Structure 1
Amino acid sequence: MLDAFNFKSGDEYSASRAEKGQANIRAKFSELGFLNTKVTENRMYQSSTNTVDIDVVIEPGQFTLVETPGFKISNKKLRELVPVFEEGSVDEDLVEEGRAQILRYMQQEGYFEAMVGKDLIPAPLDNAIQINYPIEPGVKHEILAVAIEGNQHFSTDDIRARMKVRKGQLLNPSFFSPEALNEDVRTIETMYRNAGFEGTVVKGNYAEVDHSINIMIEIQEGRQVPIDSIVIVGNSAISEPELRKAMQLKEGDLYTPLVVDRARAAVTQYYYARGYADARVERSVMDDESNHGMRVAFVITEGEPYQIGRIFVEGNRLTKDKIIHRNSGLYPNTPYNPEVVLEGQRRLYATGLFTRVDIVTLSEMEPHTRDLLIQVEDAKPILLTYSIGYQEYERVRGTVEISHNNLWGLDRSISFRVRGSLRERLAQSTFREPRLFNHDLDGFASAFFEHTQRPSFTANRLDFSLQTLKRFSPSQNFLFTMGYQTVDLEDIRVNPLAEKLKTERGIFQIARFGTSYVQDRRNDPLNPTTGSFNTTTFQIASRAFGSELNFTSLYNLYSFYTPVPRGVLATSVRLGWNHPFGGTTSLPPTERYFAGGSTTLRGFSFDDAVPEGGYAMTIGNFEYRTPLGIIPIKGLGAALFYDTGNVFSTLSDIHLSQFTHTAGFGLRYQTPLGPVRIDVGINLNPKLRFRVQDLSTLNPGEPLYRREERFKVFFTLGNPF
């Protein structure tokens, strides 16, 4: 118990730590079967020594033992199935609910004829009880097939994707219970009803053959009906033609509940946008028996129009009023739209400047005018963050960052970041101006020093850059960059590729301009299941603006994510081309493309596909990701992947015969920060390559060539793309 309380003599006392210790003790007793354990803490302060004596009083509560004679169910699973543990008490309803849950669990495990009883047995000890659920499991059944017949509008795959009942497949066990089958029938009926079908009949049946189950879903599709008439009543301020144009619904369209609901929402938003904040739109649908269609009616209660009057700000101690007004997007003498007010609250939260934002309407001082009060609470502007990560080449690396996110109360920010590992050291500072030149632009000034050790070279870089970001929408951004960089490659002489990279030694000054377009339509940046991500970057370095090297750089990454049965198919295509010009014949390794590792070609070590790198790159990745339902660990998934492509000396050298090919598999464990990932890559065509670059270093009798390794194992954080 002392270990659980997590205090010992001499520790600094804090109330939050004490509360956590009490929670740990309650959890310990809960694991032992004690319900509603009470833990209280008595503190006695000693002023003479400035210490606190702590007495912890524990009332264990009722001891409850749950057993399942006749069939073994793990204690962990029983705690999920029997609700007395979650509720912290025992009564007849909770015991019966536990019995029903256990029966459903047995049916899902294939014991469709199982029988589960219940017995409450008072224990000889005070304040203790035993609950027995005797189980007669019967014979375990297997699901032979799940057949679907009669469907035409929806494909069989679409219907299966919505069903709970399924036949067992690789990595996904079978699932069946009569309740689940009935639920699937209701789900399919809802699918057809939402698609506008009237009179659809769905039947679910199952039959046993030698302890195996055949499941049949029979569908009698009804008919889709058109909208015969649309009636609008109650409108006076806005004409019917305007409302019909806004709802985008007309006679003759196929009826579905969804399109009618969308039309009602569109009409409501049309009124809101004109200041009718109290407008209400009711919709009704009925059969038109004369024409075998549907009659849709919208009944409108308009209310009175309002405008925004004065806007007051309260509670800000640091942030300037003008920053709050600007970011809220709310302006006096504009229509009072409750959805715009809610969006203003969201926009203020999104700045990260506040821990609390409320926008309330004040008492009406003038007719048809509503004054607003924006109440905020400033967040702490100075943040200290630190993190630790892992990468297959750098191994463990740590980051520490300190930032001020609200300089002078103007939403400006400055940050200082230090990152380090065995092969990399980085120090970086960034300043952000949220409204550059009083336009809707983000401005950045950044400087960093980096020491990096790559398999083929070691470099020191000093970089200064200015960037301008234009946000066209939440998913589309355009970035303009100009930067000046000093690259020190003097120590390339000690690298294994010194003979191949003779002309790339030295110190280089690189000045460049560039643009980037980023489009992010993923539903989840950490673990996407739908959508796409696309970025295209073009840069030019030229002696015309102070660079020692002339070259252009074009890079494109396009990834998209497609839901497929039991998982997601993730696809990524990367193309890159760096082109020297104007007297520059070669580029240093820092301006070359490399491939190999956990995010590119997983049949090779980091940067090892072409160790000297190249000026052109093309890589394709295909990965099937699926939950690993066969193992009862929440968040565990599996992946099958195929990587292809390579790095080439020039664009004209790209040829399919030089593409590498890697297949493999991996495990994923989802965490709030993204997946922890283990991948095994298999090089399908390992080639011969020189063992050393300098033949004079070759030992007598040592082979001149070596074959590329066939297997690679990667452990890292985050998805590969």
Structure 2
Amino acid sequence: MKYLKLFPVFAAGLTASGAFAAGPALLPAGAAIQAQASVSDANRPSDEGEQEDEGEAQGSAPATPPPPPAPVSQTLADLIPPSAVENPENWAAEGVAPAPADPSAPVLALPDTEPAVGEEGAIFDVEAALADLDIPEPEPLAADPDRPSFAEIAAPTLVDLPELKEFEVSDELILAFPADGDRFPEETGFVERFRALSSIEALDSGDDTRAQLAARARADEELLVEILRTYGYFDGDVVRQLSGGRRGADEGPGDPRSSDAADPVVRFDILPGTRYRFGAIDLGALDRLPDPDGTMLRAAFEIFSGDPLYLDRIVTEDIDLRVALGENGYPFADFGEPELLVDHAREEGDLTLPVEPGGKYVFGEVVSEDPRFLSGRHMSRIARFEQGDTYQASLERDLRRAILATGLVSSVSITPRETIPPADGEPGQVALDVGIERAPLRTISGAIGYGTEDGFKLEAGWEHRNLFPPEGALRLRGIVGTREQLASVTFRRNNFRARDQVLTLDAYVSDIETEAVDARTAALRGSFERISNLLFQKPLSWEVGAELLYTDERNRVTNGIQRPRQEYLIGSLFGSATIDATDDLLDPRQGFRVTGFAAPEVSRSLGAETFYLRARVDASYYQPVGEHVIAGRVAAASILGADAFEIAPSRRLYSGGGGSVRGYGFQAIGLRNQFGEALGGGSLVEGAIEARIQTGFLDGAVEVVPFFDIGTVSREARPDFDVVRAGAGVGVRYKTSFGPIRVDVGVPLNPSEFDAPVVVYVSLGQAF
């Protein structure tokens, strides 16, 4: 297909005043062209009637010359020679030859003399007219003090870009920061925040085409600007660059979109500029609060004029101020939304946080909506505040957790209510209205299992946790097994007279056969204790109690030989105390824990009375090593005042088992008689060390624990270390929300003929 080039065709003529005018006219393709020369006469009549009148008036005027011959119409093909079609480029370069002169065409001549200005038909002399025009010179304008003059406007200053250093976020994403770290000290936090929110970082592998990256780069550019503002750089700039080809295209070698081309990469140059600072700080009515609370609460909001403007600090200090008000007696404080007015001229931001503290209050009574179930009086006992104490929001939340911890309710709501308003500078008083929803109170439990030490065991239980309100529980429990039969009734009142104090009364009968003892026992036991729990781990917990029991015991029956039974009537007072400086009750990582136990007892058997003291000390220590923990334990126990064989076998000291020396059976370490029966002793010493190694499996929930245990049992009250047994092995811990599940596999290092080659232990919690 050939293309036709169009050239301007000039039409010439005279204007009405006789001046020559020329102008281009575009010739549309395919149109016919007519050439015609004419003379424009300004005095030509407008119609035929006027022409006749004029002819009569002139009279002897010469006759009108004949009109020129009619123009010949020509087509576009007639005007374009064949050479132009064959080679249009050369034809266009030659130009258009001038048309030949037409002898019949009229000759137009310009007049030799210049007509006078103003005469009809004469040319108007603009320069002469302007020369005669007298235009007064305008008065200069008065200077406007609010607007600078052009002389005062400085030329723009060109800023040199700082030297940049690159940070590779990923294969397709690079950030460049000022090489001078003082210009942008927040670089590390900036990168972490951007990496977490970046659209390019969220791009799946294989989707990083140039189009995808370009679209996501625009979003990331806006994100970077917002993050700069978060750090107070409101005049910062971000320069985006996209380079490289497109991955995975099949356009052939050398194509910029082919797989041989470079992978697309986005680079952002971060130019932070000047970091703004806080200007005026307005905290509303809080600034007018009288001292000492005014100064104290204002200090809790740690943003001051001149501090670097960091938007995250506004959120943090807002929370801190809310906490401070709630912890210092202001339960009804009201907060508005923070507003920041940025002034670019001052490079500052003025912060307004409307705060209405409300009145100051102290605690009043606790009111229960279900007093027959859990009374307000009982709730006041378990609260960690007294009436008249300054209101603290944390103590209100603690009371809510304590009510939930009873297990008697499924939900709790606490609402402060003004009962006495503040007056004359004295605080008011608030009551706490407690709304509760009852939880199921009865529980039926059961378990069935088998163990190498215990044989088969079937256990069942029934419990009512609030049979004797408030928090008076009754529990029935029974066990039927190969080596143990038990029936017990337990009354337990939690939070007895104070928070975390427990009163327990327990009556039971049992028939137990262990490695060392065969005992039939009936007992009544009572204790009063202050416990440490997961909700509030206490540095000191203690227990005191008394026990009265009747037992008919003998050593185990071995090889079919019945050992003689012996009856004992035992009375005991006991007490224990624990000092806990660890960081966790079930899975400590650092600190120490020491527990002491003492029980003076009197035993009557075969008409003789024996007085003795059972005492024991356990201590453990935990040391973190990176993310791992080294844990150690020592224990020592003794029976003072009587020979071990003068007291009942069930009251003697034994060692071995999962909570003692792993690798050995329960009560398997110590002196034995000629039948291989463990006799127990009058003193005990144990030690253990283990490493709790994090594996990283299942998000760090799995630990591997190699361990080494050692122990000895002596006949006398002072240990002689004649029989020392050691065990070693490895365990696994799986951490749950309620503590680690423990599985240990131990082997005896110096076993006796009665010890198994491998022993497995499964329990909840660490070994110590």
Q: TM-score range by the shorter chain?
A: 0.5 to 0.7
Letter in 1 for 2:395: V
Cα deviation, residue 577, structure 1: 0.9
Aligned pair in 2 of structure 1 residues 600, 330: CA closer, same or farther (>3 Å)?
Answer: closer
Residues 1:386 and 2:449 are matched in the alignment = no
The answer to whether residue 545 in structure 2 is matched with residue 485 in structure 1 is: no
SS where residue 322 of structure 1 aligns? Answer: helix
Q: Superposition RMSD on alpha carbons, in Å? A: 5.0
Instruction: Answer yes or no: is the 8 Å Cα contact 2:589–2:623 preserved in 1.
Output: yes
Inter-partner Cα distance in structure 1 for 2:719 and 2:528: 36
Q: 1:455 aligns with which of 479, 504, 515?
A: 515
Give the aligned partner of residue 356 of structure 1: 411
Change (3 A) 1:299 1:320: closer
Distance 1:348 1:437 in 2: 15
Deviation at residue 479 of structure 1 after TM alignment: 0.9
Structure 2 residue aligned with 1:580, among 635, 641, 650? 641
Cα drift, residue 523 of structure 1: 4.6
- Give 1:480 deviation, angstroms: 0.8
State whether residues 523 and 531 of structure 1, in contact with CA within 8 Å, keep that contact through their aligned partners in structure 2: yes
Q: Does 1:714 align with 2:760?
A: yes
C-alpha distance in 1 between matches for 2:369 and 2:397: 17
Aligned residue in 1 for 2:720: 654
The structure having more radius of gyration, on CA atoms, is: 2
CA distance in 2, matches of 1:450, 1:528: 35
1:612 is matched with 679
TM-fit CA distance, 1:553:
0.5
Aligned pairs for 1:669-684 within 5 A? 669-670=734-735, 675-684=740-749
Task: Report what 1:623 is aligned to.
Answer: 690
Q: Secondary structure at the match of 1:276?
A: coil
Contact preservation (8 Å) 2:472, 2:492: yes
SS in 2 for 1:549: strand
Distance, in Å, in 2 between the alignment partners of 1:242 and 1:95 is: 45
For the pair 1:568 / 2:623, whether they are aligned, the reply is no
Deviation at 1:419, TM superposition (A): 3.0
C-alpha spacing 1:357/1:328, structure 2 compared with 1 (3 Å): farther
Using the TM superposition, name which of 666-675 and 513-522 deviates more: 666-675
Structure 1 residues without counterparts, runs of 5 or longer: 1-92, 104-115, 120-231, 250-256, 284-297, 690-705
SS in 2 for 1:542: strand
Alignment coverage as a number of residue pairs: 459
Match of 2:292 in 1: 239
TM-score by length of structure 2 reads: 0.50
- The answer as to whether partners of 2:551 and 2:569 remain within 8 angstroms in 1 is yes
CA deviation after TM superposition for structure 1 residue 332, in Å: 5.7
Compute the displacement of 1:401 (Å). 1.9
- Of structures 1 and 2, the one scoring higher in RCO (CA 8 A, sep 6+) is 1
Partner of 2:651: 591
Taking structure 1 as reference, are residues 312 and 601 closer, same or farther at Cα in structure 2, changes over 3 Å only? Answer: closer
> Is 1:313 aligned to 2:374, yes or no?
no
Inter-partner Cα distance in structure 1 for 2:489 and 2:497:
22
1:465-504 equivalent positions in 2, closer than 5 A: 465-470=525-530, 474-475=537-538, 476-489=540-553, 491-492=554-555, 494-495=557-558
SS in 2 for 1:347: helix
Unaligned runs of at least 5 residues, structure 2? 1-196, 210-282, 303-309, 339-352, 423-427, 671-677
- 1:330–1:578 Cα change, 3 Å: closer
Contact kept in structure 1, 2:706 and 2:729, CA below 8 Å: yes
Task: Give 2:557's aligned amino acid.
Answer: V
Q: Which whole-Å deviations, capped at 9, do the CAs of 1:49-77 have from their partners, x for residues lacking one?
A: xxxxxxxxxxxxxxxxxxxxxxxxxxxxx
The answer to whether the 8 A contact 2:604-2:610 is kept is no
Question: Structure 1 566/584 Cα, relative in aligned 2: closer, same or farther at 3 Å?
Answer: closer
Change (3 A) 1:460 1:351: same
Q: Distance in 2 between matches of 1:307 and 1:437?
A: 23
1:667 and 2:732 are equivalent in the alignment: yes
Question: Secondary structure of the residue that 2:598 maps to in structure 1?
Answer: strand
How big is the shift at 1:241?
A: 12
* Alpha-carbon offset, residue 613 of structure 1: 1.8
User: Which one of 698, 705, 714 corresponds to residue 639 of structure 1?
Assistant: 705
Q: TM-score, normalised by structure 1?
A: 0.53
CA contact (8 A) 1:234 1:301 kept: no
Q: CA deviation at 1:377?
A: 1.3
Quote the residue 2:45 is aligned against. none
Give, in whole Å, the separation in 1 of the partners of 2:471 and 2:755.
Answer: 52
Query: 1:552 aligns to what?
Result: 613
For residue 448 of structure 1, report the CA deviation from its aligned partner: 1.4
Counterpart in the other structure of 2:487: 427
Amino acid of the structure 2 residue aligned with 1:359? I
1:126-145 equivalences in 2 (<5 Å): none
Q: Give 2:138's aligned residue.
A: none
Higher strand share: 1
Judged with a 3 Å threshold, the aligned counterparts in structure 2 of structure 1 residues 262 and 238 are, in CA distance, closer, same or farther, namely farther
Map 1:515-530 → 2, pairs under 5 A: 515-520=575-580, 522-530=582-590
> What aligned pairs does 1:53-92 form with structure 2 within 5 A after superposition?
none
Residue 118 of structure 1, CA deviation: 8.6
SS at match of 1:343: helix
Q: Tell me, in whole angstroms, the C-alpha distance in 1 between the residues paired with 2:694 and 2:653.
A: 34
Cα deviation, 1:197-219, whole Å, max 9, x if unaligned, reads xxxxxxxxxxxxxxxxxxxxxxx
Question: How many angstroms apart in 2 are the aligned matches of 1:479 and 1:371?
Answer: 34
Contact 1:434 1:443 in 2 (8 A): yes
Whole-Å separation in 1 of the counterparts to 2:597 and 2:315: 42
- Percent same amino acid among aligned pairs? 21
Mapped to 1, the partners of 2:527 and 2:373 lie a distance apart of: 27
Counterpart in the other structure of 1:188: none
Helix, strand or coil at the partner of 1:568: strand
1:588 Cα shift? 2.3
Tell me the secondary structure at the aligned position of residue 550 of structure 1.
strand
Equivalent pair of 1:520/1:533 in contact (CA under 8 Å)? yes
Cα distance change, pair 439–620 in 1 and its aligned pair in 2 (3 A): closer
Task: State how far apart, in whole Å, the 1-side matches of 2:477 and 2:756 are.
Answer: 39
Q: Could you tell me how far 1:359 is from its partner in structure 2?
A: 0.9
Taking the aligned partners of 1:584 and 1:540, their CA distance within structure 2 comes to 15
Secondary structure of residue in 2 paired with 1:653: coil
1:15 alignment counterpart: none
How far off its partner does 1:535 sit? 2.3
Which deviates more, 667-676 or 529-538?
667-676
Equivalence for 1:276? 330
In the aligned structure 1, how far is the partner of 2:316 from the partner of 2:291? 19
Q: What amino acid is the match of 2:403?
A: L
Structure 1 496/537 Cα, relative in aligned 2: closer, same or farther at 3 Å?
farther
**In 1: Cα distance, 2:656 partner to 2:365 partner:** 60
Give the secondary structure class of the aligned counterpart of 1:612: coil
**How far does residue 429 in structure 1 lie from its aligned partner after superposition?**
1.5
CA distance in 2, matches of 1:624, 1:639: 5
Distance 1:493 1:710 in 2: 19
**Letter of the structure 2 residue corresponding to residue 276 of structure 1:** Y
Q: 1:384 to 1:591 in 2, by over 3 A?
A: same
Counterpart residue number, 1:171: none
Report which stretch shifted further, 397-406 or 298-307. Answer: 298-307
